[in-house]
Amino acid sequence: MAGGNDTLSTRLSPFQKIYLLLVAGFIVGPFLPVIIQSLAFRWAWPELLPGTWWLEQRGKSMLPLAWDYVLSPYSRVWEATVNTVFIGLVVTAICLAICLPVARLLARESFAGKSAFEFFLTLPLIVPEAAIGIALLMIFIRLGLAGSYAGIIIAHLIPTIPYMVRMLTAVYQGLGRDFEEQAMILGARPLQILWRVTLPMLLPGVVAGALFTFLVSTNIFLLTFFLGQGQVITLPTLLFSKISGGNLDTTAAGITLIVTLPGIILLIISERFIKEEAFGKGFGS
Amino acid sequence: MTARERRTRILQLLQLIPILSVLVILFGGALVMALLQSLGFAPWFGINTFPDFSYFGSLWGSQTFWVSLWLTLYYATVSTLLALVFGTMLALALIKAFPGKWLYKYLYKLPLMIPYTVGIALAVIMLSSGGVLSRIVAFAGLIDDPGQFPQILKTHYGWGIIAVYVWKQTPFITLAVYAVLLGIGRETEEAAAILGARRGAIFFRVTLPQILPGIVSSTLICFAFNVGAFEAPFILGGGFPDTLPVVAWRYFNDADYTLQLQGMATVVSIGIVAGVILFAYLWVYRRYERRMGRH
Amino acid sequence: MKPNVSIFSLVAACAATSVWAADPDDAAFRDAFLSGNADWAAVEARAAEEGGVNIYYWGGNDLLNIWMDRVVAPAMAEMGVTLNPVRITGTKDAVDLVLAEKHSGKGIGQGSVDMIWINGENFATLKRQDALFGSFAQSLPNSVNLEWDESDPRAMLNVRDFGVPNDSAEVPWSGEQYVCAVNSARVADEDVPSTFAELKSYLEANPGKFTYVKPPHYLGNTFVQEAIYAHNPDGTGATPFQQSVDDIAPEELARLIAPGIEYLQSIEPNLLDAAGGSPRYPEDNKALDGLFLNGEIDFSCKFGLYAVAKGLEIGTYPEGAKQFVFPENTMIKNKNYLVIPGNAPNSAAALVLANWMASVDSQVSKLESVGMPSGIDGWKLSAEDAERIVNASPGLIGVTQADLDANAAPDTNATLVDVIEATWLEVIERDSTASIEEVVATAYANLGK
């Protein structure tokens, strides 16, 4: 890419340089005051830096302040993290299991009603989440699923399936079926083909799909909030309950940073192991 | 059809069943239930006047519903458009080489990886009247009371809500456009440049048509999400009249349980409005594609 | 489509059984306990058998969260009961859950909520919907710490919750009073208002420097009630508002509340951010604290006898904060309670928890570490215990207990709170053009349906 012809500049224009800096500031800049707030004891307007820091007060209070609270079991941060990861993993596993065969069908076969089916698959992405969430709650309360892990996991499948199917279908399409056929001609049994040939070739795409599904699941707020009934807390709902009044106090700032942490880890993993193009399939056309 | 073929066919159908059951029973079922309830079917509250259009009647008959609808669409549209412009510009910059690009490619994707609630927390600390921007303005000596700082959050202009959506969705659109840009290569652009086309013309005549599918699908998703989002307008919105998802939630949470049906009518209205707009959007796009000779 | 039909009939089937069903064993225990035929040792044994208890409470107070985990959980564990504290964003969520479960046929012993921290309309809702465990409070061993003799006016807060007789279906937990705090670094002592008229003139001189929490949040409702008491056209203060909605005609209520509501309308243009178009009412306690800390408002009014002392200790209040008497003679005082829902799955453990919460030890520890005032009655305790409670107090700052007692007023009847809340929303928030009388009449009609 970078080695292209120079008629169309491959270098940034001055405007683009400034633009990149502004965007970077817009995206990560606001984290700085959150870090400061998380270390403050009292930080009132118009101070640019806290008048009193947490460490100055740490010994004087019997109560765990700031990070002492955030990192203690009292804040429920650990419980929420475990829940978020657990729900994300189960959703990813189920989603993968039910989407793989469907993606294979969509990529390779044509059947009656295929385009209708494909359209139906994208519907969850364009029906507003609030509509699904409130309507599902009514059903779940009656089925006894409200406030349970099972209910939340099932609900998370709805917005994750469309992404997963899209990404996996693209992978199968790119794969072609020649490899499997060659293996079959060479006398391999179907299971062997799946295990030795198809899966390894699919793996990068499957990992991308799984990561993306996990990412979507860990980011879901509304469905968890409506269907969890306060009994199952995840990182997004924990943070919501801290800031729902529109105020970010010391412990809320600490929790904001903790909620950001898994995202940073995911970012590093996905950036290192997955090509941009594969990831883009989840978002783009 | 041979027996073997029929067997494969049945096997294929079996593979579709898990997904179909999740989508049809839960997703479809939820929508059907919502529709039935909004039309007066709720025997568990002792109400069954199906079909009864009075819930829609009283909802659509009130002026505040239309204000709420306007606010919902306004926040969703403005933020989708802003994210589209910012995201496309970012993608166009990202395909070029520059020092530190590897780091930048981590950095710009951060909002994608973290929940909207984090974005809301950032908006609160930056933009509120007692927040960081207000303190910087005070430090510069321009104001001496937080009340003098122009109110950004909790107004019906919704700058706070829009800021959060743009923050989270700019990377989303960037990634979609960037993936397409990487895929198409730059031969056509270069050809156009050699033939003497100007920069602007190259973008609108050559690049834009190629990235359009990516733009359409990603803005579609963003817009639909924005219409149905709850947490940002709930925390950062200007209060009554609220956006439709918040209105639905308030009905649903009211002490008067019969208002839940009114809430369902609101939910169904959100679905209808979003559906109509998105289909119109898709229809226009398809027509454009056909005119361009693609199908 | 077939799957839809099956969900559908399932829902219909559940809906049909909305009678109070029961687990026979739990029902027998409940009947035995409420009729006084179960001795306490048997209750404790059964509680240990049940093994766990969950309490649903508003989770917005870090100090209370810490106390629940650090003090209550170990105390329960000693009695063989595992405490599961469920933090909720609003008490109504727990009430909704209980009612939803009741409506879907989950009866005695079959629900999922054992105990709720509650008062006011939420309790009234549970009572109206017949979703209470029963009159248990006076049968707890620690009920000796509370005054039950109704001939003593001081017993009122134990037997009536927002004016609604509670039939001992809940046990008092904390006694609170609505107090305002001022940032003395920003306001001179002589400018601090003590009446609504003085507040209004302060706001005219300093526009935007005050607001109150938005009703229907109880902190907002209470401010509205105080304004209504103070502007009662008959000059009888809180007295007429002790009646239930059934005993007072809508026209009469409208006449009584109109001056208070009109006062609130009249200060609107000078409330926080009103200069920018519409005034801003914070959504909850935390938002109010944030505004007060940043000096966006000069006065902060909420329930919190020891809020200033605790706020200074944890950094959520500005250094110059102190309390003051406002409004004279109508500072609402009430109690909050612990209720056991009718379908509590661990009712014996809930009784044990309720009893522990009413003990002197737990009240002292709660007062000390959370700053939540004692809910038991000092005059029923030994001199020594009463002394411990007094010593545990984090302290009033700027006012004395005598000031507070002298200006105390009772809460508004829970059934009227709904009407007043609806009136505020319609007249103040939605700027309705209808007269107050019409709005009140509509609220009566809506609540009656």
Instruction: Return the SS3 of B152.
Output: coil
- Tell me what the mean pLDDT of segment C291-299 comes to: 95
Q: Choose among C65, C86, C101: nearest Cβ to A231.
A: C86
Q: How confident is the model at residue B10 (pLDDT cuts 50, 70, 90)?
A: confident
Task: Answer yes or no: do A215 and B98 touch at CB < 8 A.
Answer: no
The first and second tokens of residue C410, run together, are 């009772």
- Tell me what the mean pLDDT of segment A36-45 comes to: 95
What is the count of residue pairs from B and C with beta carbons less than 8 Å apart? 75
Is B44 within 8 Å of chain C by CB?
yes
Task: Answer yes or no: do C429 and B253 touch at CB < 8 A.
Answer: no
- Tell me what the mean pLDDT of segment C134-159 comes to: 94
In order, the DSSP letters of A138-182 are HHHHHHT-TTSHHHHHHHHHHHHHHHHHHHHHHHHHHH-SHHHHH
Task: Answer yes or no: do C10 and A142 touch at CB < 8 A.
Answer: yes
Q: What is the pLDDT of residue B37?
A: 86
Share of chain A above pLDDT 90, in %: 47
Using CA atoms, how far apart are residues B97 and C384, in angstroms rounded to an integer?
79
Is the omega angle on the peptide bond into residue B51 within 30 degrees of 0, that is, cis? yes
Is B130 within 8 Å of chain A by CB?
yes
Residue B41 backbone dihedrals phi, psi, to 5 degrees: -105, 100
Q: Which of residues 230-289 of B touch A (CB under 8 A)?
A: 230-231, 234-236, 244-245, 248-249, 252, 260, 263-264, 267-268, 270-271, 274-275, 278
The first and second tokens of residue B150, run together, are 């122009």
Using CA atoms, how far apart are residues C125 and C230, in angstroms rounded to an integer?
28
Residue A212 neighbours by CB under 8 Å, 6+ apart? A163, A164, A167, A279, A282
In tens, the pLDDT along A65-99 reads 999 999 999 999 999 999 999 999 999 999 999 99
Best A67, A143, A224, A247 member to test C by mutation, with max C CBs in 10 Å, is: A247
Q: How confident is the model at residue B161 (pLDDT cuts 50, 70, 90)?
A: very high
Q: What is the pLDDT of residue A282?
A: 57
Please check whether residue C394 is in contact with residue C368, taking contact to mean a CB–CB distance below 8 angstroms.
Answer: yes
**Burial annotation C369-401 (CB, 10 A radius, 16+ → b, else e):** bbbbbbbbbeeebeeebbebbeebbbebbbbee
Best C129, C293, C294 member to test B by mutation, with max B CBs in 10 Å, is: C294
Angle at C10 (CA atoms; ends C9, C15), nearest 5 degrees? 95
Strand intervals (E) in chain A: 40-42, 52-53
Residue B73 lies in a domain: yes
Best B39, B67, B129 member to test C by mutation, with max C CBs in 10 Å, is: B129
What total number of domains does chain A contain? Answer: 1
In tens, the pLDDT along A149-170 reads 999 999 999 999 988 998 888 8
Q: How confident is the model at residue B294 (pLDDT cuts 50, 70, 90)?
A: low
Q: How confident is the model at residue B233 (pLDDT cuts 50, 70, 90)?
A: very high
The first and second tokens of residue A82, run together, are 């475990």
In tens, the pLDDT along B40-83 reads 887 766 778 878 888 899 899 989 999 999 999 999 999 999 99
Q: How confident is the model at residue A9 (pLDDT cuts 50, 70, 90)?
A: low
Is 80 exceeded by the pLDDT of residue C390? Answer: yes
Distance from CA of B112 to the nearest CA of C (A): 27
Residue C221 backbone dihedrals phi, psi, to 5 degrees: -55, -40
C-alpha A261, offset from chain centre: 12
In tens, the pLDDT along C102-134 reads 877 788 988 889 999 999 989 998 998 899 999
What total number of domains does chain B contain? Answer: 1
Distance from CA of A1 to the nearest CA of B (A): 8
Q: Which residue has the higher pLDDT, C242 or A3?
A: C242
CATH assignment at residue B102:
1.10.3720.10
Tell me how far CA of residue B241 lies from CA of A229, B233, C149, C442, in angstroms: 25, 11, 48, 20
Please check whether residue A166 is in contact with residue A213, taking contact to mean a CB–CB distance below 8 angstroms.
Answer: no
Domain that holds residue A224: 75-283
Domain that holds residue B200: 53-291
Q: Would you tell me which CATH number, out of the four given (3.50.30.30, 3.20.20.140, 3.40.190.10, 3.65.10.10), belongs to the domain C18-175+335-401?
A: 3.40.190.10
Q: What is the pLDDT of residue B213?
A: 83
Residue A40 lies in a domain: no
Averaged pLDDT score across all residues of chain A: 86
Q: CB-based burial of residue C130 (10 Å sphere; 0-12 exposed, 13-18 middle, 19+ buried)? A: exposed
Residue C336 neighbours by CB under 8 Å, 6+ apart? C117, C118, C119, C172, C173, C174, C176, C375
Residue B59 lies in a domain: yes
Q: What is the pLDDT of residue B24?
A: 87
- Tell me what the mean pLDDT of segment B14-35 comes to: 86
Is C14 within 8 Å of chain B by CB?
yes
The first and second tokens of residue A38, run together, are 């998380």
Longest dimension (CA), chain B: 85
Task: Answer yes or no: do B113 and A266 touch at CB < 8 A.
Answer: yes
Using CA atoms, how far apart are residues A90 and A232, in angstroms rounded to an integer?
15
Using CA atoms, how far apart are residues A207 and A205, in angstroms rounded to an integer?
5
Is 80 exceeded by the pLDDT of residue A279? Answer: no
- Tell me what the mean pLDDT of segment C231-259 comes to: 95
Is 80 exceeded by the pLDDT of residue B140? Answer: yes
- Tell me what the mean pLDDT of segment B23-47 comes to: 84
ipTM metric: 0.89
Is 80 exceeded by the pLDDT of residue A6? Answer: no
- Looking at beta carbons, which residues of chain C come within 8 Å of B258? 449
Ranking A178-182, C6-10, C314-318, C320-324 by mean pLDDT, the lowest is: C6-10
Using CA atoms, how far apart are residues C95 and C131, in angstroms rounded to an integer?
9
Is 80 exceeded by the pLDDT of residue B282? Answer: yes
Residue A43 lies in a domain: no
**Touching partners of C (3+ C-beta pairs < 8 Å):** A, B
- Tell me what the mean pLDDT of segment C205-223 comes to: 94
Is 80 exceeded by the pLDDT of residue A142? Answer: no
Is B114 within 8 Å of chain A by CB?
yes
Best B13, B109, B118 member to test A by mutation, with max A CBs in 10 Å, is: B118
Q: How confident is the model at residue C18 (pLDDT cuts 50, 70, 90)?
A: very low
Q: CB-based burial of residue C113 (10 Å sphere; 0-12 exposed, 13-18 middle, 19+ buried)? A: buried
Q: Which residue has the higher pLDDT, A247 or A143?
A: A247
Share of chain C above pLDDT 90, in %: 79
Tell me how far CA of residue C386 lies from CA of A191, B93, B156, C145, C392, in angstroms: 78, 72, 53, 10, 10
Q: Which residue has the higher pLDDT, B90 or C105?
A: B90
Task: Give the sign of the dihedral formed by CA A119, CA A122, CA A125, CA A128.
Answer: positive
Structure-token match 């000096």, residue found: C295
Is 70 exceeded by the pLDDT of residue A276? Answer: no
Q: What is the pLDDT of residue A115?
A: 82
Q: What is the pLDDT of residue A285?
A: 41
Q: What is the pLDDT of residue B11?
A: 80
Alpha helix stretches (DSSP H) within C247-298: 250-267, 285-293
- Looking at beta carbons, which residues of chain B come within 8 Å of C447? 256
Which residue type is seen at A191? L
Using CA atoms, how far apart are residues B259 and C291, in angstroms rounded to an integer?
33
In tens, the pLDDT along C161-203 reads 998 999 999 999 999 999 999 999 999 999 999 999 999 999 9
**Length of chain B, in residues:** 295
Please check whether residue A219 is in contact with residue A236, taking contact to mean a CB–CB distance below 8 angstroms.
Answer: yes
Which residue type is seen at C161? D
Q: Where are the domains of chain C?
A: 18-175+335-401, 188-297+413-448
- Looking at beta carbons, which residues of chain A come within 8 Å of C73? none
Q: Choose among C125, C291, C430: nearest Cβ to B255.
A: C125
Residue A94 lies in a domain: yes
Please check whether residue C226 is in contact with residue C331, taking contact to mean a CB–CB distance below 8 angstroms.
Answer: yes
Q: What is the pLDDT of residue A283?
A: 54
Q: What is the pLDDT of residue B33?
A: 86
| Closest by Cα among B136, B129, B123, B135 to B150 | B129
Averaged pLDDT score across all residues of chain C: 91
What is the count of residue pairs from A and B with beta carbons less than 8 Å apart? 316
Please check whether residue A149 is in contact with residue B291, taking contact to mean a CB–CB distance below 8 angstroms.
Answer: no
Q: Which of residues 197-216 of B touch A (CB under 8 A)?
A: 202, 213-214, 216
Q: What is the pLDDT of residue C107?
A: 86
Is A221 within 8 Å of chain B by CB?
yes
Q: Choose among C4, C12, C446: nearest Cβ to B256.
A: C446
Q: How confident is the model at residue A275 (pLDDT cuts 50, 70, 90)?
A: low
Most confident of A63-77, A126-140, B27-41: A63-77
